Amino acid sequence: MIDRPSHSLADIATRWGCCHSHVLSLVRSGALQAINIGMGSRARYIVSAESLDDFESARTTRPPAPKQKRRRVRREDVIEFFT
């Protein structure tokens, strides 16, 4: 059997600094892929390292592009009274 790293929802909540229910809602909405390993009616989820990496890379923000100064266009046909 190949040992693949996986994470519980509590581990992910600790890693992200949020509560367990937030991670569970991400799993239930389908945004974060998880495997249900629970028996019976109670679900117990684990998340593979690949799924966690994919989710985090999709949610990673990039810094905004630097703003460029806008040049004022002077129109020749307008008389400026208040300069």
The per-residue pLDDT for range 4-30, each reduced to its tens digit, is 789 999 999 999 999 999 999 999 999
Domain extent for 10: 6-59
The sign one gets for the Cα dihedral 55, 30, 36, 44 is positive
Specify the residue for token string 């990496």. Answer: 53
Q: How many domains would you assign to the chain?
A: 1
- Answer yes or no: is 69 within a domain: no
- Answer yes or no: is 44 within a domain: yes
- Answer yes or no: is 68 within a domain: no
pLDDT score for 14: 96
- Answer yes or no: is 81 within a domain: no
Q: Which of 12, 1, 4, 6 is nearest to 56 (CA)?
A: 12
- CATH classification of the domain holding 12: 1.10.10
DSSP letter at 67 equals P
- Chain mean pLDDT for the chain: 88
- Answer yes or no: is 78 within a domain: no
**Helices (DSSP H) in 1-83: which residue ranges?**
9-16, 20-29, 49-59
CB 28 within 8 A of CB 36: no
